[in-house]
Structure 1
């Protein structure tokens, strides 16, 4: 294949950004809602005059049937037909028949959403989504985003947006409904396992900065680097972070790609190459036919910047796509231990085919494989050391306007009782019954947090409790603590 590379800039299709010809792909991951929409996948933009289109034989029986149906409807349907709608419907039907959550037809605002800039700030809730079955599933909330702060998690299913069912929606349609201006709100109905709940999120500006770094406060020779996504500046930001931490005394590093939904493949390769000896494999891309293309660590990838200090990588079920490429490369080609929980499992590559100025479609065209040739799609990467958050970190979010009080019974009260116990208040038996003991625990929590001591679980108290739980989860980071423990032994 000899196809034009589209370097990721403010418009992935802009001709002025074209640089050189390459054998395959540019970007990686799935659909990201409210931030970097459409960038977190492997995308290759081609036109109708490409080899893909030229290979079609429109004289085949199938296309003859399609043409016959079109002509019959257009000429004999009892109402006047819209030719564009008929054609778009046929295209949508063909793509939908693949049953692939990453392949979809995009037109109008959907297409422009796909092509949003990745070089500025965005207003939304900051979570990656994909279509799964009839509904929309969260792949990963972005660290520090409204979605993350509200307690949304990987594998949560969005069954409704502003009380509109998402059944049958594309991920792009859901994205358009969820995005919006800063300080406006959007209400999501979430299904987590067998429980369903509603959460109202206030949209915010999602910053482009993708790397956060600091020295461990107790072990100042250990540098912590969090990579929240793989976008344009990530290689430079990671390099700068490592350089700065080295000057501050870091002798080893914890690289955190938890809740990282992915990003640009080339950025993942460049950063992976920093940690892997030249010549060793970073990943493979395998199309339906032909040999896999193998990418190797090299000076051309990392510019000669290498990290030889001890490293641990943190992953979880929100680590997807490009972050899995990074984690797998370090694990399999540099013997770096992975710590945390199993990653998401996104192992396919997409391209974007331009149909005209207002429409295009995404199509999955290849698998990507780890350095040793494994395909992790729907399986994920298994960490060397399993380290989970405490059980209360996986509770459903309680976020509604209802007030609970003495003698009330509810599954939500049971959740709150568990949370009260986690923050050091004794609610008595955790059974969903608002007992005298639970009331005393609520009053004590309200007193400790400068709230009106009503003894009732009003929205203000519930919101404060959710915030306290989120902070406690962050302060009791089991995976990070395990990584620090391991590095102090080396």
Structure 2
């Protein structure tokens, strides 16, 4: 395995290779070590040598004073925390659990950062996160983050229940199995969505101001994160999809490249759409393959330090290089490590990005492990693109813009109960949009189930070769959703644009 890069100004207890939601290197210390500041060393030197020359002495003296003030403030803060802890323990009207108090204090400190990517995790939450790193878990298959009081989907993973159910980036999850998740931590909400393979979970989703319910059957989330095939006919184009950046992704990616080479691929399309990111090391290894040695892959900037460049070379790619013309597909669900890879190829490898604006996650997280099997995930740095741009909350801009058709973002119809003649509601409006996208409704999309809607349903049922009633039932809805999904795939504008670009 290539030597891991050394992150600037990060202690052994906070070392990381993670630019996404998932940790890779974790401290085995019982508690994080306090970083020994530069001025601590300067204080020792001054005491030992007893020197101070002119302005330099004044400058160092001021810095020493600041360091002492910081230490005093820290000491005062810790004393206050201890005082509150003792007061509650000794005076609360009923017995309190010491661990619960400690965890509450830790959660409060981490929450005060106002950073949705930093959190303290208990034992079960830690196990859940570690499963995610290895891509060996069961659930709905969506990368999520905190958004206000609720949970927002960053991206559903290809081939998972979330993707098949039509969930989209930026969908807000408000309830799980009928219970609000308002106020829950990210991992608490995720644990409610996970469960045994084959069991179901009901989610209440908000999209574009509309709310709908969807029931998903939990599944084993694919361990394989890379898939590939030949496309483009005689043009011999290799097409690779990468769903996440997990432990084995870089290895799978290299295998895919070698297999496509044997098949005679002359050009490559790499699909990073819907990829929520993951391990930074995987992104470094994969991007290095496409860049000349010495070219910048990314930059990492910790607090108060100059940005450190990570450059392509044998330590990441093992000497394996790919020189075929390459295009990368991105969208609003491409985040974190997916953006690192895409930016590296765009800015240092002259590859073109095709699709829509990426998500925009430009921070690096580390995980510190504690002896009680809990962990703390905390943001410790910014990552920058090769040219020094911080894309946080902005995303990458594609060279060729090609967004999905409008009907690709339609909400899911959760039930046919209120899809009856004479009703007026949002579900009827969505049904009309379904029918319009499929070419069977030419009336006004107003949410009223009238004769025009009934007529359109009859036309569709005749086309689908099912009993013609003009009424909505589960079978008709399932057929309609399947056909709409196929149409979305067949009208993949970004893919078609990339294919056209590669066929030149």
- Write the deviation string for residues 434-484 of structure 1: whole angstroms up to 9, x where unpaired: 222321221222233343322112233223222221121111110011111
1:266 corresponds to: 281
Mapped partners of 2:15, 2:123: distance in 1? 27
| C-alpha distance 290-191 of structure 1, shift in aligned 2 (>3 A) | same
Task: Specify which of 308, 329, 334 is matched with residue 293 of structure 1.
Answer: 308
Map of 2:27 onto structure 1: 45
User: 1:345·1:381 contact (CA, 8 Å) conserved in 2?
Assistant: yes
Alignment of 1:27 onto 2:18: yes
Contact 2:235 2:503 in 1 (8 A): no
> Retained in 1: the 8 A contact 2:237–2:268?
yes
1:71 equivalent to 2:71? Answer: no
* Superposed displacement of residue 332, structure 1: 0.6
TM-score w.r.t. structure 2 length?
Answer: 0.87
Distance 2:173 2:477 in 1: 22
Q: Partner of 2:359 in structure 1?
A: 344
TM-score scaled to structure 1, two decimals? 0.89
**Which of 114, 134, 145 is the equivalent residue of 2:160?**
145
Q: In 1, Cα distance between the equivalents of 2:234 and 2:213?
A: 41
Partner of 1:11: none
Q: Say which structure is richer in helix.
A: 2
Q: How far apart are residue 54 of structure 1 and its match?
A: 7.5
Which region of structure 1 is more displaced relative to structure 2, 165-174 or 70-79?
A: 70-79
Separation in structure 1 between the aligned mates of residue 202 and residue 237 of structure 2, nearest angstrom: 41
Q: After the TM superposition, which residues 316-395 of structure 1 pair with which residues of structure 2 at under 5 Å, given as runs?
A: 316-395=331-410
Q: Quote how far apart the aligned CAs of 1:114 are.
A: 2.0
Q: Give 1:124's aligned residue.
A: 139
CA RMSD across the alignment: 2.3
Q: Which residue of 1 aligns with 2:428?
A: 413
Contact 2:19/2:383 (<8 A) preserved: no
* Structure 1 Cα separation of the partners of residues 83 and 370 of structure 2: 22
CA offset digits 1:28-52 (Å, max 9, x no partner): 312xxxxxxxx2x576435245433
Tell me the residue number matched to 1:33: none
Number of aligned pairs?
463
Give the stretch that moved more between structures: 121-130 or 49-58: 49-58
Q: Describe the SS at the equivalent of 1:62.
A: helix
Rounded Cα–Cα distance in structure 1 between residues aligned with 2:99 and 2:421: 60
Q: Is the contact made by 1:125 and 1:146 (CA closer than 8 Å) also made in structure 2?
A: yes
Name the structure 2 match of 1:472: 487
Tell me the distance in 1 between the aligned counterparts of 2:186 and 2:405.
31
| Counterpart for residue 40 of structure 2 | none
Q: Shift of residue 291 of structure 1?
A: 2.5
Structure ID, larger Rg: 2
Partner of 1:85: 100
CA contact (8 A) 1:28 1:42 kept: no
Higher mean alpha-carbon deviation, 118-127 vs 50-59, is at 50-59
Q: Distance in 1 between matches of 2:13 and 2:101?
A: 36
Q: Deviation at 1:266?
A: 1.1
**Mind listing any 5+ residue stretches in structure 1 that lack a counterpart?**
7-20, 31-38
Alignment check: 8 A CA contact 2:135 2:221 kept: no
Cα drift, residue 247 of structure 1: 2.4
Partner SS state of residue 372, structure 1 = coil
Q: Deviations over 1:4-23 (max 9, x none)?
A: 979xxxxxxxxxxxxxx899
